[in-house]
C-alpha cells in the first residue's frame, strides 16, 4: 500500500514568511509524528499526535511552530516568521499506535530552505 | 528526558568484515530500541528493532543486542556489502515505541570494496 507522503518535497522561502508543510500518514495509522533533521545531524522530535488525545508538543522549539491534525489523518506543520535556523528537512512518520507495534514509518521529508 | 549517545560517528569497514555500532541510553523506562538506515537523500528506514523483554534479535546479517542493566544496545552487521554503506541511527522510546523516538546522532558506515 501507499506509504507516508509529504508535500512539498522542497520549499524555499524568505526569512520572515510563514510556511505550511503537509503530511499524509499511512491509512489506518492513528499515531503521527513530526521530526526535524538539520544538515548532517540526527533527528529531533517536534510533536506527536495519537488519536483524539491532546498532542505531545514538548519538542516544538518555539511558539513560531505549530501543528494540527484534521480528522485523525492529514497533518500540517506551520512555521511562522521563518528564520534561517529553521532550514532543515522536516520528516513525518506514522505508526499503528494504540498499543500495537510502535514501528514508525517515515515519509520522504520536506527540505525547507530559508534565505 | 531521554538521552541517546551513539558511537562511532564514522566507521569504515572492508567488504566482508563485520561492523558494530553502539548506543547508550539514560532513561530506564525506555523499552523499545529501533535502528534506522538512511541512505543519502532518502528517508530513514527501519532495519531492526528490539524490545526490552529480549536480549538479542537477529535478522539475516543484522543483529541487535540489548543490555538493560548497562543501558546499552548495539547493532551488528556481518559479511558487509557495499549496499550497507549508509548512515545508521539508533533510537529509544517508552511504551514499546508508541511514543516519540529519541535518536542518536548517527554513524556513517562506509564499506570499502
The alpha carbon of residue B80 is apart from the nearest alpha carbon of chain A, in Å, by: 23
Q: CA of B107: which chain A residue's CA is closest?
A: A42
Phi, psi (5° rounding) for residue A98? 65, 30
Nearest to A95 among B36, B91, B97 (CB): B97
- pLDDT for A67 beyond 90: yes
8-state DSSP, A56: B
- pLDDT for A1 beyond 70: no
The alpha carbon of residue A101 is apart from the nearest alpha carbon of chain B, in Å, by: 7
- Three-state SS at A82: coil
Q: Which residues contact A114 (CB under 8 A, 6 or more apart)?
A: A13, A14, A15, A82, A83, A84, A85, A86, A87
Q: Which residues of chain B have pLDDT under 70?
A: none
* pLDDT number for residue A41: 79
Give dist(CA B67, CA B75) in Å, integer: 12
Residue contact B32–A48, C-beta within 8 A: no
A35-68 burial, b for 16+ CB within 10 Å, e for fewer?
A: bbbeeeebbbbbbbbbeeeebbeebbeeeebebe
Amino acid at each position: 500500500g501507499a506509504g507516508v507522503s509529504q508535500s512539498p518535497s522542497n520549499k524555499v522561502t524568505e526569512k520572515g514568511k510563514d510556511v505550511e508543510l503537509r503530511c499524509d500518514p499511512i491509512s489506518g495509522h492513528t499515531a503521527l509524528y513530526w521530526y526535524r533533521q538539520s544538515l548532517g545531524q540526527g533527528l529531533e522530535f517536534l510533536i506527536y499526535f495519537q488519536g483524539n488525545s491532546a498532542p505531545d508538543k514538548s519538542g516544538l522549539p518555539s511558539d513560531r511552530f505549530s501543528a494540527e491534525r484534521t480528522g485523525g489523518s492529514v497533518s500540517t506543520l506551520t512555521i511562522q516568521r521563518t528564520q534561517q535556523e529553521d532550514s532543515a528537512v522536516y520528516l513525518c512518520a506514522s505508526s499503528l499506535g494504540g498499543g500495537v507495534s510502535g514501528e514508525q514509518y517515515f515519509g520522504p521529508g520536506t527540505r525547507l530552505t530559508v534565505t | 528526558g531521554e538521552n541517546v549517545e551513539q558511537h562511532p560517528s564514522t566507521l569504515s569497514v572492508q567488504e566482508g568484515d563485520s561492523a558494530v555500532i553502539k548506543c547508550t541510553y539514560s532513561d530506564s523506562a525506555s523499552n523499545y530500541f529501533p535502528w534506522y538506515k538512511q541512505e543519502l537523500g532518502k528517508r530513514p528506514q527501519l532495519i531492526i528493532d528490539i524490545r526490552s523483554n529480549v536480549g538479542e534479535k537477529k535478522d539475516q546479517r543484522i543483529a541487535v543486542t540489548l543490555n538493560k542493566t548497562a543501558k546499552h544496545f548495539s547493532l551488528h552487521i556481518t559479511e558487509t556489502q557495499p549496499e550497507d554503506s549508509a548512515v545508521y541511527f539508533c533510537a529509544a522510546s517508552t511504551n514499546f515505541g508508541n511514543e516519540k523516538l529519541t535518536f542518536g546522532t548517527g554513524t556513517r558506515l562506509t564499506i570499502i570494496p
